[in-house]
Amino acid sequence: MLEISPRKVVHIIFQAREKNWAEAELHAFIDALNEDEQASLTAVAWIGRDTYDPEDLDEAIEMAKMEATTPTADYLIGMPLLADYLEEGLERLGVDVADEEEDFL
């Protein structure tokens, strides 16, 4: 079960796509998430890059918790295609990203 709201994920997608995005702001936003939200966020990115299938969400979340040896924000911000992975991950999980994006446009 996804333990982060799709709205928060879309917020991160928008921050990561900004041409002049402030890495410090994105870092602070991810750091402010609780452990379950961070693990779910990582799992969404992994599903988006085809490391896991959508039906393996719970396994991906547990693995994200077990493998969290560096700060989650550092790990995710280091992904060059973070926004794309998150968007694809949400879509593969059946979340309509367009509906969530309306709040940000």
Long-range contacts of 76-79 (CB under 8 A, 24+ apart): 76/30, 76/41, 76/42, 76/45, 77/16, 77/23, 77/26, 77/27, 77/30, 79/45, 79/49
Q: What element of type H or E holds 6?
A: helix 6-17
Q: Which pLDDT does position 23 carry in this prediction?
A: 82
From first to last of its 105 residues, what are the pLDDT tens digits of the chain? 899 999 999 989 988 887 666 788 899 999 999 999 999 999 999 999 999 999 999 999 999 999 988 999 999 999 989 999 999 999 999 998 887 766 655
The whole-number pLDDT of residue 53 equals: 97
The reported pTM is 0.90
Would you state the pLDDT for residue 20? Answer: 62
